[in-house]
Each structure stands twice: as structure tokens, then as C-alpha cells.
Amino acid sequence: MSEYNLTLPAMGESIAEATIIRWLKEEGDFIKKEELLVEIATDKVDSEISSPVNGILKKKLFFPNEIAKVGSSIAILETEEKLKIFPIEEKNISIEKKEENNKRFYSPLVRNIANIEGINYYELDSIEGTGERGRVTKKDILKYIHIKKNKIVIPKYDNIFLSCNKNKNKKNEEVVEKMDRIRKLTAEHMMISKNISAHVTSFVEADVTNIIKWREKMKDSFQKKTGEKLTLMSVFVECVVKAIKDLPMINISVNGTNIIKKKNIHIGLATALPNGNLIVPVIKHADSYNLVGLIKIINDLIKRAKSNKLKPEETQGGTYTISNIGSFGNLFGTPIIHQPQVAIMAIGLIQKKLSIIETQNGDLIGIRHKIYLSHSYDHRVIDGVLGGGFAKKVALYLEEFNCYTKI
């Protein structure tokens, strides 16, 4: 027998530690190579660490909710080239056997949670999956368990069939639910941002009719050609990047009384998760992509964000953030700056409006697609002429979009 020290791997330049969330194996369990062993979390992303070797989990060096430094040992495994594989308990293989017969895959993490919660195969098979090909993700099973444990109680009404003039007895109930870890971190971050930055918000309306016509014309052929959905967000990102190049003082951060100018343009995309939490994946070097490249990377980041597949470093280092509040049906808003950035733009709902169209032959009235841009910025370092001017610059780039653009 020899010992193998499992270390916490590097997860990006700015990430020095992670919290141990849950061990997926117990001491004495046999671990196969590439089998998931422990679930960890950084500030924004939950990840899973697999074992690089076959072995027996000899000792866990950290308990749940303890913080481990990158590079430190978190567990010790006993290894041997011809290590005997110990039998797995019947309760743990019931799901696996059924899975083989029914060809629906469940990850080791999902199976482990199901076993801990006493969920048998038939119940697990009834859970709707949001993953690829209907696969049940960790979020899916945790949501199912939460709903199961916290059933909504409908207030009881006595004498409901009596005269409406008579009083009815009501039983009002409240459900107290603790914030999860991500919600706590988000709440803390929002309050810190409001306390640090002097928030001001400017609003600009933009005509995006050309963009809508272009997408309607190109979306089907583009998806057939590339397998990707043609999203409007790619155009918004492209226009924001152009505006940042024109007005680079938007792409800064503040350290005390020092202004730090960023040479790279890293665009964060505020993304709502199925459980209601928020995450901000980052397009690194967004100015290096053409429109097709932006479409592909945006689709990939958002898809993996919603299925909890992002790497920790993919949520770090943003220099400017965009939030699509139009996806919630909102027209405009006052977004909170994502520290240590100094500005954020919210994209509102696209609406058809009767508009006055100026032409060489006079003014006309027509139906146009309009959108509001809400631009919040830090008034400590950005005045209205720059903050409002930047929003107008983005609007002009949107309006100047060539609807005959080929992709």
C-alpha cells in the first residue's frame, strides 16, 4: 500500500481557496479513478473534484464548510496497483442497476444525494431533468427535495359554504427559509457595492428594428449551418465593446484614490439561474471575437452557467457587465454595479412602437422596434457626460447596425 495526497487544484489566478461543501464518499470507501469525490465552492461556482487514482479513501482532512487553500491536501487515499474492489452496498447499486436497464444516466453526485435522502429509483425517475437529453442535474434533485420537504400549505377556510356575511376562520401560515450560500454572498456583494459606489443611472432609448429584421432573416439558416441559436445578446455585446473602445474610461476600476485603467475588455453577462440565484460568466477579451465568435461563446457560457458547469475562473476578471432585464419583461431598471467595476448596463424589453421617422422627404409615422438601455455608473469617477454619453454611444451603434450583415 502507498498513500496519495489529494490536493485542491488551482482554479484561476484570483482564486486562492475554496469551501468544502460535501464529501461524496466516506472513509473506507473504494474510489475509482475519475470518480467524483468531493463537492467544493468558490465565491460563485460550485465544482466537483474527482479522484485521479484508484484507491481507498483513508482520511478526510477537511470537514464540510471548512475552507481549504489551493494546493493544500484535502484527503489521503491508499493506493495499490492491484487493489481489490470492495463490494458496494445493495442500497447504492439499486439505482445503478435500474439505470442500466432504462438507459437514463444519473451522475454519482445525483445518485449519492438520492441515497442520502432515501429516494428510490422509481421516485428518481419521476424527477424532470433540465440537463442535456433530460438528464437530472444536482439543481434538479435539490429543487425536488426542497419542494418535497416544504410543501405549500393552503390556508383552511371553515364554513366556506355558509352565507358570505358570516366570518370565516383562516389559518395563516408562514414558511421561514434560510438563504443558501450563493444568496448570502450575492446579498453581501450588493450591499458592499451600494456602500462603495455613488450610483447614478442614465436611460436611453434605441431603435433596434434593423437588428430584429436581420435576426429574423438569418436565424434559421444560421442554426442549420452552425447548430447555434442566433441571439441578440451577441449584437449588444459587440456594440458595448465598440463603445468601450471609443470611451475607455468606462473600462476602469478604483483602488482608494487611484484609477486603474484596464487594457483588456472582459464583458460579464449577468445570468439568472433556474433556482433564482444570479451568476456572471465573463467573456474574456471580448474585443477579439467577431460576431459569430461572440454568438458561440455567449451560448456556451450561458448554457453551462444554468447547468452549473462553469469553471471558477470563468466568473472572474470582468471589467464591464451587461444584464438582460428584458428577459423578465422589464422595460428599464437601476442595476447595481458589479464591484470592482464602475459601470453596468441593463438591456430592457424590445417593444413595437409607433414612431416618427425622419426622411429626406419629410417625417413619417411607422412601427419600429424600440428598447431602453439603463446605464448605472459610479459617480465618484464617472460624470454624467461620460456615463450618459456612453449609453448614447451604445444606442447609436445599435441603430447603425447593418441588417444586410452576413454571418
Model confidence over 180-235: pLDDT tens digits? 877 888 888 899 999 999 999 999 999 999 999 999 999 999 999 999 999 999 99
**Helix 384-399 vs helix 233-246: crossing angle, to nearest 10:** 130
Q: What CATH number is given for 198-399 in this structure?
A: 3.30.559.10
Supply 122's cell numbers.
422509481
Give me the CATH topology for the region 2-79: OB fold (Dihydrolipoamide Acetyltransferase, E2P) (2.40.50)
Contact predicate 41/18, CB 8 Å: yes
- How does DSSP assign 33-56, residue by residue? TT-EEEEEE-SS-EEEEE-SS-EE
Average pLDDT over residues 238-256: 96
Residue 96 — pLDDT band, cuts 50, 70, 90? very low
- CATH class of segment(s) 97-177: few secondary structures
Tell me the domain boundaries of the chain.
2-79, 97-177, 198-399
Taking 70 as the threshold, does the pLDDT of residue 63 lie above it?
A: yes
Please confirm, yes or no, whether 379 is among the known catalytic residues: yes
* For the ranges 35-39, 97-101, 377-381, the one whose mean pLDDT is highest: 377-381
Residue 132 — pLDDT band, cuts 50, 70, 90? low
Please confirm, yes or no, whether 140 is among the known catalytic residues: no
Please name every residue paired with 374 in a beta bridge, in sequence order, or none if there are none.
203, 346
Residue with cell 433556474: 274
Catalytic residue among 146, 158, 220, 383: 383
Taking 70 as the threshold, does the pLDDT of residue 170 lie above it?
A: no
